[in-house]
Structure formats: structure tokens, C-alpha cells
Structure 1
Amino acid sequence: MTAHFKADLLLVVTTLIAAAGWIFSKEALAGFAPLLFIALRFSGAGLFLALLCLKPLRRLNRSQMISALQVGVLFGCAMVFWILGLKFAQHVGVGAFLTSLGIVIVPLLNLLMGGEKPSRLVYLSLPFVLTGLAFLSLDSEFHLGFGEFCFLMAAFFLALMFIQNSRAAARIPALPLTAIQLMVTGVITGLCSLVFEEWSFDFPAAIWGWFFASMLLATSLRFLLQTYAQSLAPPSHSAIIMTLEPVWTATLASLWFAETMSLFQLIGCSLIFTAVLVNRAPALRQWLRSHKSRI
């Protein structure tokens, strides 16, 4: 098995675990307060990863630590909106597609933050995004309510986090950077939970089971696999294969929660997914060429 093929398999598994994380989280929210859940999930996962990289963490200088903390703050804000969206949105699958918009808006935000000029493919993807959202909004069974708005805000902060994380990853090893991100996210969501929620831990065993699945599988294992897989292959692999997450999420949600989507919702989600693929067309071409050359 070549390194690239191994990376492909690991990244597909990563997207499946990430999609399963939506299901784990939704089930855990039947008992946990939303912010408390995300705080315990990410702080626990961050501490677990930190134990695996104590020496690299100690080697970080002040500048590296500040950069990692900044990424963590953005990630924390994204997770506050994401968990609220998961709590209040009508469809988990639709939420996954709305969150995936973060991939589309990264180049535009990067330009505003002094980065490189977006390619024409970014502008080509925007009509697909707007049309997709229109199909979702115009459907008689879909309302762009508070939950859906939270998913859009999560996409915005995830885009900011992606930009800052790319800059930080050039100077900081992936594992300690990820550990710091997760722990900071846990602190931010924990503080929000302390202010706005009442804490209770009197849950059935099944709820705790979903929680530990979210923390150990959908967070710790997911990020470990993703980090390792990205070390085996070019970034184009992660850029295109990771877009499978909303597809798996919608599929698992339909199977597990018996969710149904109307024709308009299916068209809207398909258009948004198309926008992601159009935006990542160069990565897709590179990925296909690399596979073709190995056949």
C-alpha cells in the first residue's frame, strides 16, 4: 500500500468519523446542555492529545503559543455557534451543508485579511452558493431560523480559523497545535456555559456513552487520523476528500433519525456541495491526475 493510497483511506475514514460525530453529539444533547457538552468534549479531547505531546508543547515559544491560542479562540467561537445550531436546527443534514460553506468563503476572507487574491473559481462558486441557499429558504418546509443562522456563523468562524490555522501550522507542529485548539475551545465554551446554562450531570448511562464517543472517537481519534493522513499526502487530498463529510452526515442523519428532505432541500444541498467542488477544482484535478498516474 502506497503512502498516498493509505492517506486516501485514512481521510475517508476521518470524514466518516466526523459525520458520525454529528450523530453522537445530537444524541448526547438529549441530556447535556449544549455548551456544557461541547466544553467537556473538547477540553477532554484536548487534554488527551496534550498527554501525547508533552515534550513538543514545552518546546513552543511565546510567539508560537500566542498563535495557537488565537486559532483556539476562533475555533471556540465556531463551536459555540455550531453546537447551538445542532441544538435548534430542524435538519442535521442541512446544517452540515451550511457549515461546509466555510470552505467556499476562505479565499474571500483571506483576501480581506491581506492574503492572496482569490482565483476566478471562487467567483464561479458563489452563484451555486446563493442559488443553493435560495432553494433551501424558499422550500415550504424549510425556515432559515436561529439554528440555521448559527450554522452559517459557525461556517464564518471556521473559515477564519482555517486561515489562521494555516499560518500557524507553518511554524507549529500539528499535534500540539491541535491540542491547544481543543483545550481553548473547551475553556471558551465552558465559560459561556457557566454564564448561560444550568449544569446537571444526572444522565442515563446511554447519554454518557454518546458523550465519550463524541470525545474519544469524533474528536481525539478524528483529529489524530486527520493529522497523520495529511503527513502522508499533499494538501489536495484533504481539500477534496474532506468535503465528503456533509455527504456522509446527511446520509447518516437520514438513516439514524429518519430525516427526510424535500426536493428543494436536496437541490439546495447539491448546489452548495457543487460550490465547494467548484471552489476546490484545482485540488480535484491534481488528485485525479495523481491517481491516474498510479493506475
Structure 2
Amino acid sequence: MPASAVHGSQNLARPWLSPVEWLLLLVAVIWGGSYSAAKLATAQLPVLQFLLLRFGLTFVLLLPALRGLAIPSWKAALAGATLLGINLLAIFVCETFGVSLSTASNAAFLISLCVAFTPLCEWWLLKIRPSRSTLAAAALSLAGAGLLAFQHGGTAGLTWGDGLIVLAALLRGTMVCLTRRHGQRHGLPALTMTAVQMAVMTLGSAALMCVVPGATWAPLPHTASFWSAMAFLVLLCTLFAFFVQNHAASRTSPSRVALLMGSEPLWGALIAVLWLGDHITPQGWLGGLLIVASAWAVTRPNSKA
């Protein structure tokens, strides 16, 4: 475990958040806005074409970073980064289709179930048993998601879009652990790993467009709202955010990465309400606050998560 598990004076001297973890918190704010941006963009362009354009543009910007593959173990590192790219493509296919079929605010809250899933994935993949406080926080997050799922009418439950978001959350938990394990084994630079992932996701999106029935290439929109949303998603939500996540994944525990991102649903909901006019019931806000509280409980000073 990282320094967060150290007892005594070392633990007392540790700041609430390290510089890397502050960057992760900034990513949470940025990603909170991604749901509204994706909702706007996919209303004007089919999902798979949207993903192909988003990740293709990002890969072009990251081409110089491929020089980082000039290491002795480049074959193993490339294989590991490719595996991560495939997992990331699955996350975004589920997440983007889910956002297009649900509300931006519901998607922002439900994706945070990765807070509940990550400690279990960490236990399974990295053989690191979560602390009791981490498991309690994960349970609190799960309870909050349950309140969100039934905030409208009490019996409607999850839609197909919501279900896809939950699956994306499970894949996110797996992604955090796989990224940490890959970074420990091969030491590939964060930007290089991100570039390889973007290449895999671009090729994967193109392949899906060729095999999914009914997928066609639509004319690109000419609206300012679409291209503003695309610039936000490419430059901040993808290029900057994935660099930070890859950089941080090998420098703090997977559970802390996921739990620090626990404020993402709150930012996502606030932006969706202010930007898209989403309506969230008091029960939904209570569920969201439970999720955010679970993140605070584990990242507070003297936490052993």
C-alpha cells in the first residue's frame, strides 16, 4: 500500500491531498462537465462516429508522444497499453451510449459506482485487501447510487442507458487496477500510454462502425455548440484528464484514485442542471451527497485507505 497506509507520525504529517491528488480532483471537475458535453454532441452526431472523431483528434495531437516507446521492453509495454486501450474503448462505448439514452445528471452520478467497484477489483487483480473504512465508503456510495436509480417514481428503476453506465463503472474500476499494474511493470511514460490508448480506441471505433448494423457516416455538424463541446472533450476531458490519470495511477492506490474522483458526480449534476436544465429530485441529491461523502471519508487525514 502507498504512504496513506502508514501509521504514526508519517501519517499525521501527510497532507489531506498530495499535488497529484489535487490534479485528480481537477479532473473530477472536468469530467463532471463531460456528460453534458457528450449529451450535446451525440444529439448532433451518431455515437460511434462521435467516438471516432473524439479519439482520432486526440491521437493526432499525441503523435509525438509515441517516441516514448523507445525503451528495451517496448513490445511488452505496447501490449499492456493496447490491453488498457481496449478496456477504455469498452468503457466509453458503454458510457457514451448510456449518456445518449439517459440524463446527463443520472449518468454523472451512476458512473461513480466505480467507487464501490474499485476496492473489489483491487482485491481481485492486485491481491490488496481493502480496509474496513474503504469497504464502508464503497457501501455508502452504493446506497447513494440506489437512491439515484429510484429518484423518479420510486419503481421505475434503471433504464437501459443507466444499465450501460453501471457497466462502464465496473469497467472503470478494472481500468484503474490494470493501469497501476501496467505502470509498475513497464514504466511507460504517461503521455505515451495515453497516445497508444487513443490509437487503439480510434481503430476500435472505426472497426465498430464497420460491423455494427446501421452505423453510417453522417455529415459533420457546423454548429458552435458541437465543436465547442468537442474541443472541451478532446483537450480537457481526454488529453489532459487521461494524462493525469495515467500519471497518478502508479503514484497512489487505485482505491484513492477512484474515491478522489467521487466528487465527479456532484460536479456533473450541477453542470447538467445549469447547462442542460436537468431536474434532480431531493432524493437524487441525497444519493449524490452520500456518494461524495464516501469519497471524503476515505481521503480525510489519518485515513488508512
Q: TM-score range by the shorter chain?
A: 0.7 to 0.9
| Residue 157 of structure 1 pairs with residue 171 of structure 2 | yes
Query: Counterpart of 1:48?
Result: 61
| Residue 191 of structure 1 pairs with residue 203 of structure 2 | no
Query: Counterpart of 2:5?
Result: none
* Cα pair 1:240 1:284 within 8 Å, conserved: no
Q: What is the rounded CA distance, in whole Å, between the counterparts of 1:42 and 1:271 in structure 2? A: 33
Q: What is the rounded CA distance, in whole Å, between the counterparts of 1:261 and 1:83 in structure 2? A: 20
| Residue 219 of structure 1 pairs with residue 238 of structure 2 | yes
Task: Output the amino acid matched with 1:139.
Answer: Q
Identity of aligned residues (%): 24
Q: Number of aligned pairs? A: 279
201-210 vs 31-40, which moves further: 201-210
- The correspondence for 1:203, drawn from 221, 227, 230, is 221
Task: Output the amino acid matched with 2:75.
Answer: R
- Judged with a 3 Å threshold, the aligned counterparts in structure 2 of structure 1 residues 70 and 19 are, in CA distance, closer, same or farther, namely same
* Cα pair 2:84 2:178 within 8 Å, conserved: yes
Q: CA deviation at 1:25?
A: 1.6
Q: CA deviation at 1:72?
A: 0.9
- Judged with a 3 Å threshold, the aligned counterparts in structure 2 of structure 1 residues 175 and 113 are, in CA distance, closer, same or farther, namely same
* Cα pair 2:179 2:246 within 8 Å, conserved: no
Q: CA deviation at 1:94?
A: 2.1
Query: Counterpart of 1:106?
Result: 118
- Judged with a 3 Å threshold, the aligned counterparts in structure 2 of structure 1 residues 127 and 286 are, in CA distance, closer, same or farther, namely closer
Task: Output the amino acid matched with 1:274.
Answer: A
Q: What is the rounded CA distance, in whole Å, between the counterparts of 2:138 and 2:232 in structure 1? A: 36
Partner-residue secondary structure (3-state), 1:113: helix
Q: CA deviation at 1:82?
A: 0.4
32-41 vs 145-154, which moves further: 32-41
Segments of structure 1 that go 5 or more residues without pairing to the other structure are 288-295
TM-score by length of 1: 0.82
| Residue 272 of structure 1 pairs with residue 284 of structure 2 | no
Segments of structure 2 that go 5 or more residues without pairing to the other structure are 1-16
| Residue 61 of structure 1 pairs with residue 80 of structure 2 | no
Q: CA deviation at 1:193?
A: 2.7
Q: What is the rounded CA distance, in whole Å, between the counterparts of 1:12 and 1:111 in structure 2? A: 24
Q: Cα deviation per residue 1:99-138 (whole Å; 9 max; x = unaligned)?
A: 1111321121232335222221243234424432332333
* Cα pair 1:77 1:188 within 8 Å, conserved: no
Q: Cα deviation per residue 1:200-246 (whole Å; 9 max; x = unaligned)?
A: 12422322342233222321133345567x49x86698665433322
- Judged with a 3 Å threshold, the aligned counterparts in structure 2 of structure 1 residues 106 and 136 are, in CA distance, closer, same or farther, namely same
Q: How large is the Cα RMSD of the aligned pairs? A: 2.9
Task: Output the amino acid matched with 2:176.
Answer: F
- The correspondence for 2:161, drawn from 147, 153, 176, is 147
TM-score by length of 2: 0.80
| Residue 85 of structure 1 pairs with residue 98 of structure 2 | yes
Q: Cα deviation per residue 1:246-274 (whole Å; 9 max; x = unaligned)?
A: 22111111100111211111122222333
